[in-house]
Amino acid sequence: MSDKATLEINGQKNEFAIIKGTENELAIDISSLRSASGGAITLDPGYKNTGSCESGITFLDGEKGILRYRGYSIEELAEKADFLEVAYALIFGNLPNAEQLHKFHSDIKTHSVVDDDVKKILDAFPKAAHPMGVLSSLTSALTAFNPSSVNVDSEEDMYNSVVRILGKFPILVAWTMRKKKGLPLYYGDSSLGYVENVLKMMFKQPHEEKYIQNPILVNALDKLLILHADHEQNCSTSTVRIVGSSHAGLFASLSAGISALWGPLHGGANQAVLEMLEAIKEDGGDTKKYMAKAKDKSDPFRLMGFGHRVYKNFDPRAKIIKVAADEVLGDLGIQDPILDIAKGLEQEALKDDYFVKRKLYPNVDFYSGIIYRAMGIPTEMFTVMFALGRLPGWIAQWREMRLRKEPIGRPRQLYIGETERSFIPIKKR
Ligand code: CMC
């Protein structure tokens, strides 16, 4: 195969290098296209065919349903690793040894505090505020209390900024939920593991002297966070990278990523799935009616939790989560009719021509909400939990982008507006 791609524009042939990734993926390097072709650009709304960077963090093959962080398969990580090990591997490139992991955790713990004034900001939000808006605001507000910028050329400074945000973010997540539930705010417990600490900060009731950990919930949350930890160049991650590419700080970049995640086509799908399943249940549980609505092009309804931009055969995370949902509900002795509706919808979709032809399968968010609900997490908090899981991925991608000294993100456009015209004074318009 030639290592060059040829593009002919107006009779002029231009050659571009073909670059191969470590998994033999091909990319045409068109960085010289404008200058070589006299100004032509590529047009690719939604970036369906456009790579924005070279990255060594996450590999996914949507046709084969493969997802690997730093070369480790998601199946193996979900089964054998814990969230903090995965976070370390994503951010720094390799799994930590025992000493590195211990240091990483203890450094995170020393930063597990936020300025008390953050409580005042939280207090100012109405109780009805959506937790994703609150989380994004509080993350941005951290900039005010940690104003010094990170020297990305200093490994120590980089490391400190990583452990700082990993320490503070779970507090913001827990407080966001406690605010929603009208509960007093607590700091964490440094004797606990990262995930156990999150659960205690979220769930400890004022009347409880001691919060008793439920190992089923600890395991389930650990797994969910691992499954969400990174997913290469999606909407929120690309947002983090592009905001960071202007050299805006880490907190500001993460806050933008949280806002991008919020939408129902991305992280907000987990909330939308649960609301959809509830609506189907309220409406008598007629899944066929909703299947028909999803296929009707004049109806804006979509089957939430179905379809994915890159997975076209199955989402490997959905496979793991479906089994986990069964286990968690079984272990907790919960019979949730919502789970039956979800399974019914999945079965129908998998044999329906419309879904089969368009390669629409359940994605990671189809079953995650069922587990969060069983854990006692309010529906509006589901996307916040996704953000907690995605945090190491965003950090890893931001760090990689800065270390590789990537240029500021600045796409081109094809202008389709009015050509030049004269100003008309208001009286004559
Ligand atoms: N229900 C019904 N039809 C659908 C759905 C759906 N959930 N998803 C896609 N389609 C149809 C769509 O109407 C289109 O049909 P046609 O070719 O006849 O016009 C075709 O399938 C291709 O859809 P698309 O919107 O062009 O595909 P996309 O790659 O731009 O969108 C998606 C991917 C995930 C935004 C979309 O499948 C969707 O909206 N799904 C529901 C929301 C969802 O579950 N999002 C969570 C994604 S996983 C979490 C994450 O990583 O962010």
Distance 355 CA to ligand 1 centre (A): 10
Instruction: In whole angstroms, give the CA distance from residue 339 to residue 370.
Output: 7
- Residue 146 banded pLDDT, cuts 50, 70, 90: confident
- Which atom of ligand 1 has the smallest separation from the CA of 366? 44
pLDDT of amino acid 218: 94
Instruction: In whole angstroms, give the CA distance from residue 105 to residue 128.
Output: 34
The region, left, alpha or beta by phi > 0 then psi within -120 to 50, assigned to residue 248 is beta
For 89-136, the pLDDT digits (tens) are 999 999 999 999 999 999 999 999 999 999 999 999 998 999 999 999
Specify the length of the chain in residues.
429
DSSP-assigned states of every residue in 292-355: HHHH-TTS----TTB--SS-SS--HHHHHHHHHHHHHHHHHT---HHHHHHHHHHHHHHT-HHH
DSSP-assigned states of every residue in 83-126: HHHHHHHHHHSS---HHHHHHHHHHHHHT----THHHHHHHHS-
Residue nearest to ligand 1 atom 24, measured at CA: 309
pLDDT of amino acid 183: 93
Q: Is the CB of 250 under 6 A from ligand 1?
A: no
Please tell me the pTM assigned to this model: 0.94
Q: What is the mean pLDDT of residues 378-391?
A: 97
Q: Burial level of 132, CB count in 10 A (0-12/13-18/19+)?
A: buried
pLDDT of amino acid 1: 62
Top mutation candidate among 47, 235, 265 for ligand 1, by most atoms within 8 Å of CB: 265
For 251-299, the pLDDT digits (tens) are 999 999 999 999 999 999 999 999 999 999 999 999 999 999 999 999 9
Two tokens at 301?
């309804």
Catalytic residues: 308, 365
Find, among 342, 183, 181, the residue nearest to 275 by Cα: 342
Instruction: In whole angstroms, give the CA distance from residue 28 to residue 6.
Output: 10
Instruction: In whole angstroms, give the CA distance from residue 414 to residue 44.
Output: 11
Distance 347 CA to ligand 1 centre (A): 18
Find, among 57, 398, 119, the residue nearest to 252 by Cα: 398
Find, among 174, 76, 70, 80, the residue nearest to 119 by Cα: 174
| DSSP element (H, E) containing 60 | strand 58-61
For 210-251, the pLDDT digits (tens) are 999 999 999 999 999 999 999 999 999 999 999 999 999 999
Instruction: In whole angstroms, give the CA distance from residue 240 to residue 252.
Output: 9
- As a whole-number percent, the residues of the chain with pLDDT over 70 amount to 100
Distance 414 CA to ligand 1 centre (A): 25
Instruction: In whole angstroms, give the CA distance from residue 31 to residue 24.
Output: 20
Q: Is the CB of 293 under 6 A from ligand 1?
A: no
